[in-house]
Amino acid sequence: MKDVARHAGVSISTVSYVLNDSGPVAPDRRARVLDAVRVLDYAPNESARRLKRRSASTVGLVVPDLANQFFALVAEGVAAAASARDVLVVLCAPEATEQPSHHAGLLRSQRVDGVICLSGTGTTAGSLLDLARIGPVVLVDEQIPGFDMPAVISDGRRGAREIGRHVLQHGHSRLAVIGGPTQLWTSGQRLAGYREALAAAGRDPDDVPVYVGDYRQRSGTELAKAALAGPPDIRPTALLCANDLMAIGALEYCRSVGLRVPEDVSIVGFDDLPMAALLTPRLTTVRQPAREMGHRAASLLFELLGDKPNGAGDGMFPVELQIRDSAGPPAS
Amino acid sequence: MKDVARHAGVSISTVSYVLNDSGPVAPDRRARVLDAVRVLDYAPNESARRLKRRSASTVGLVVPDLANQFFALVAEGVAAAASARDVLVVLCAPEATEQPSHHAGLLRSQRVDGVICLSGTGTTAGSLLDLARIGPVVLVDEQIPGFDMPAVISDGRRGAREIGRHVLQHGHSRLAVIGGPTQLWTSGQRLAGYREALAAAGRDPDDVPVYVGDYRQRSGTELAKAALAGPPDIRPTALLCANDLMAIGALEYCRSVGLRVPEDVSIVGFDDLPMAALLTPRLTTVRQPAREMGHRAASLLFELLGDKPNGAGDGMFPVELQIRDSAGPPAS
DNA sequence: TTGTAAGCGTTATCAG
DNA sequence: CTGATAACGCTTACAA
């Protein structure tokens, strides 16, 4: 910057003025400065800048599992919104094996302005508290009772209720739920939705067993195996999976043991990953607008950070039942 | 930091010494400092730190399309390697509509230590030059002739050759290639591999038409439509797609018009996305170790940045033919 | 309209 | 072993 000033024959503060539009500068001098900037290929040092102003134009993005396409799409939405405002995104993909507070510390030291946190196994009240000390935190697809942090969520409960009803309408009498991690809000919501559907159909929700998975494909496979272990006249004829990845795992298991879907067992998921419609059978599921949710989360965070209100309230995104081929009437 | 010093009854430089192990400190004073840090919940200001040292412990990650799971997996590998060394990853997901140099500028201002750049449509020699001014750049699945930047690649040419041979062994006489963007290195490699296979089978490589796509699913659908437009006795019986996403698009097109795969047309892909094995028919493709490649790219970058050599040469990753169900003998 | 100078929170040099 | 103190590159009163 000193170089630029010298090259342009002005003082260093004049350079700053033109770079930030923060002071009146005579047109010719401004031109000289801009010119020097180009000639010297000068790029301001953001570290120094941040040190002075107390804001970083940077947000943290905590995502548990990029291999889950739902998260990847949310991340893309966040990145797009951030890019549109020239704010940087620092990516944290905490591994299950590490202390959740570790990343919080890193992010805090970076002085990121705020954080977007995607629902995932690491989301405990404690780790959220760590993040909250950094600055505003917006949650995606998660909510912690008693904390009321801003959150971008979708109406998972209703989605689960609708897909539950859809399955029940086919006349299944024995069902099982393959749910997500119990500590996750979404898991609870979806489970609640399934139970409402059951109750609405005059069934006792407590009659259907719930297998607790971790939202990964593998656990879908394993839990399907557990759920479908008994003899044909005992075993469930429909599996309500709390996300698509687990539904896919379940589908795989069925395929591997020769169970037909949906004739022998109906399987439904949740998320509507791009691949859901490409499976055979095409997966009946509930669509969540992942990219939009990421975008909204970022906008909401910017607003919290003092951007002019951009209409990004923390409302609920609607959810949409996608009826395809993986659920149907039981064969019997 | 001043507070910590006061609280511990030592000087500010002593605090710095214990925080960085950069000077000898009496055990009791060190303990007092550590204590004060905990009590005051102090986190060092990285901006100030970077200003002083000239390194940021931060790398940039440029990824064109997170919705492509291959990229998402590479990103995950990068994030994992970075996290293991406490280096931060700033994510750039340049949209097609914006100037590639824009992100380079952002990254440069951030003073990131280096950049990992995934192959994508935005990868021009010019934009790479922009990035190179920032610091070391390692490319993933890309190489620019004449620039020789460190790169983490896989042997796509061999993969393409092998899958080409596999298809040809089934006795197809009319084939078509659905390739990637011509400016991408991977596209060229894969195309070269296909041509080698053709030549090895005694066929004239120039006889097979090449449709140029953009590695996205949609272009697979469109190009399959174009490629398969003619009457049955004219149209190709096998489609060599340069990545899985386009293969999936092609699969979709075939399904939509009632063409059976592989009976009416064989389709093969490249990448082996996790979903490839879940499709019906299961997609025959070539596996690239995405996550490992990301990990290696990060390690390589760290090494370039002065980390002790960690054995991350820029060798070629082997590639593995995955023979499944989407390619077979033509029906005729 | 322009320049001077005082920090921002760290690290590193150099006397004690 | 410890503590002043001078940078690091930038912003912003304040003075000219």
CA distance to partner chain B, nearest, from residue A109 (Å): 5
Q: pLDDT digit string (tens) for B159-169?
A: 999 999 999 99
Q: Check whether residue A315 has its CB closer than 7 Å to nucleic acid strand D.
A: no
Which pLDDT value is given to residue A102? 84
Which pLDDT value is given to residue A122? 65
Q: What residue has its CA nearest to the C1' of D8?
A: B52
Q: pLDDT digit string (tens) for B19-75?
A: 989 888 899 999 999 999 999 999 999 899 988 988 888 999 999 889 899 999 999
Q: Which residue has the tokens 């935005």?
A: B122
Q: Residues of A with CB below 8 A from B43's CB?
A: 105, 108-109
- Percentage helix, strand, coil, to 5, in chain A? 45, 15, 40
d(CA A296, CA B29): 49
Tokens of A108: 């805090």
* Cα angle A35, A39, A43; round to 5: 90
Which pLDDT value is given to residue A53? 86
Option in B51, B80, B86 nearest A47 (CB): B51
- CATH classification for the domain delimited by A156-288, as one of 3.20.20.120, 3.40.50.300, 3.40.50.2300, 3.40.50.620: 3.40.50.2300
Q: pLDDT digit string (tens) for A111-169?
A: 899 999 998 766 677 788 888 989 999 999 998 888 888 999 999 999 999 999 999 99
Q: Which range among A1-10, A210-219, B93-102, B109-118 shows the weakest confidence by mean pLDDT?
A: B93-102
Q: Within a 13 Å sphere around the CA of B29, how many CA atoms are in the beta-carbon half?
A: 17
Amino acid at B68: N
CA–C1' gap, A32 and D16, in angstroms: 23
Portion of chain B with pLDDT greater than 90, in percent: 70
CATH topology of domain A56-154+289-317: Rossmann fold (3.40.50)
CA–C1' gap, A14 and D16, in angstroms: 15
d(CA B280, CA A279): 6
Look at residue B323 and tell me whether its pLDDT is greater than 80: yes
Q: Which range among A170-174, A233-237, B102-106, B283-287 shows the weakest confidence by mean pLDDT?
A: B102-106
| B90 beta partners | A90, B60
Q: Which of A278, A291, A325, A326 to mutate to test the interface with B (most CBs of B within 10 A)?
A: A278
Q: pLDDT digit string (tens) for A179-198?
A: 999 989 999 999 999 999 99
Look at residue B254 and tell me whether its pLDDT is greater than 70: yes
d(CA B166, CA B317): 21
Higher pLDDT, A33 or A124: A33
CA–C1' gap, B23 and C14, in angstroms: 14
- For residues B279-287, give the mean pLDDT: 95
Q: Is the dihedral of CA B247, B248, B251, B257 positive or negative?
A: negative
Cα nearest neighbour of B59 on chain A: A90
Most trustworthy range by pLDDT among B93-102, B302-311, B316-325: B316-325
Decide: helix, strand or coil at residue B295: helix
Cα nearest neighbour of B253 on chain A: A278
Cβ-defined contact of A67 to B67 (cutoff 8 Å): no
Which pLDDT value is given to residue A220? 97
Q: Residues of B with CB below 8 A from A135's CB?
A: none
Peptide bond into A281 cis (omega under 30): yes
Decide: helix, strand or coil at residue A131: helix
Look at residue A255 and tell me whether its pLDDT is greater than 80: yes
> Which nucleotide is nearest, taking the CA of residue B51 and each C1'?
D8
Residue B326 in contact with residue B262, Cβ under 8 Å? yes
Cβ-defined contact of B75 to A98 (cutoff 8 Å): no
* Phi (first) and psi of residue B115, to 5 degrees: -140, 140
Domain coordinates in residue numbering, chain B: 2-44, 56-154+289-317, 156-288
| A140 beta partners | A118, A152
Cα nearest neighbour of A87 on chain B: B106
Q: Residues of A with CB below 8 A from B93's CB?
A: 75-76, 79-80, 83
What is the rounded (10 degree) CA torsion for B106, B110, B114, B120?
-20
CATH topology of domain A2-44: 434 Repressor (Amino-terminal Domain) (1.10.260)
Look at residue B122 and tell me whether its pLDDT is greater than 70: no
Determine the straight-line distance between the first and last CA of chain A, rounded to whole angstroms.
79
Option in B44, B108, B252 nearest A43 (CB): B108
B229: CB partners within 8 A, 6+ apart: B235
What is the rounded (10 degree) CA torsion for B199, B202, B208, B212?
-20
Cβ-defined contact of B106 to A86 (cutoff 8 Å): yes
d(CA B20, CA B1): 13
CA distance to partner chain B, nearest, from residue A40 (Å): 13
Which pLDDT value is given to residue B196? 98
Look at residue B125 and tell me whether its pLDDT is greater than 80: no
Look at residue A315 and tell me whether its pLDDT is greater than 90: no
d(CA B75, CA B63): 8
Decide: helix, strand or coil at residue A31: helix
Nearest to A113 by CA among A64, A65, A53: A53
d(CA A143, CA A128): 10
d(CA B223, CA B211): 6
Q: How confident is the model at residue B99 (pLDDT cuts 50, 70, 90)?
A: confident
Q: Counting Cβ atoms within 10 Å, is residue B125 exposed (0-12), middle (13-18) or buried (19+)? A: exposed
Per CATH, B56-154+289-317 and B156-288 having the same topology is answered yes
Q: Residues of A with CB below 8 A from B109's CB?
A: 43-46
Tokens of B215: 């590695």
Q: How confident is the model at residue B320 (pLDDT cuts 50, 70, 90)?
A: very high
Residue A280 in contact with residue A216, Cβ under 8 Å? no
Cβ-defined contact of A279 to B278 (cutoff 8 Å): yes
Q: How many CB pairs under 8 A join A and B?
A: 134
Angle between helices B69-84 and B290-304 (to 10 degrees): 40
Amino acid at B107: L
Cα nearest neighbour of B50 on chain A: A47
Q: pLDDT digit string (tens) for A101-119?
A: 888 888 999 889 999 999 8
- In whole angstroms, what separates CA B75 from the centre of its chain? 7
> Which nucleotide is nearest, taking the CA of residue A8 and each C1'?
C2
Cβ-defined contact of A47 to B43 (cutoff 8 Å): no
d(CA A86, CA B106): 8
Amino acid at B254: C
Cβ-defined contact of A110 to B67 (cutoff 8 Å): no
Cβ-defined contact of B89 to A90 (cutoff 8 Å): yes
Residue A93 in contact with residue B87, Cβ under 8 Å? no
Q: pLDDT digit string (tens) for A193-215?
A: 999 999 999 999 999 999 999 99
Q: How confident is the model at residue B252 (pLDDT cuts 50, 70, 90)?
A: very high
Q: Which residue has the tokens 């800048």?
A: A49
Higher pLDDT, B25 or A265: A265
Nearest to A261 by CA among A328, A174, A197, A306: A328
Nearest to A38 by CA among A4, A62, A72, A78: A4
Tokens of A324: 């395809």
Question: Which residues of the protein are close to the nucleic strand C, CB under 7 angstroms?
Answer: A 10-14, 17, 23-26, 29, 48, 51-52; B 1-2, 12-13, 16, 19-20, 22-23, 42-45, 48-49, 51-53
* Cα angle A161, A153, A130; round to 5: 130
Nearest to A177 by CA among A283, A281, A260, A267: A267
**What is the rounded average pLDDT for all residues in chain A?**
92
Which pLDDT value is given to residue A228? 97
d(CA A115, CA A129): 12
b/e per residue B97-111 (b: at least 16 CB within 10 A): eeebbbbbbbbbbbb
Q: Which range among A219-233, A238-252, A292-306, B114-128 shows the weakest confidence by mean pLDDT?
A: B114-128
Residue A167 in contact with residue A327, Cβ under 8 Å? yes
Which pLDDT value is given to residue A24? 87
Determine the straight-line distance between the first and last CA of chain B, rounded to whole angstroms.
79
Q: Is the dihedral of CA A230, A232, A234, A239 positive or negative?
A: positive
d(CA B119, CA B67): 14
Residue B132 in contact with residue B76, Cβ under 8 Å? no
CA distance to partner chain A, nearest, from residue B80 (Å): 7
Residue A265 in contact with residue A238, Cβ under 8 Å? yes
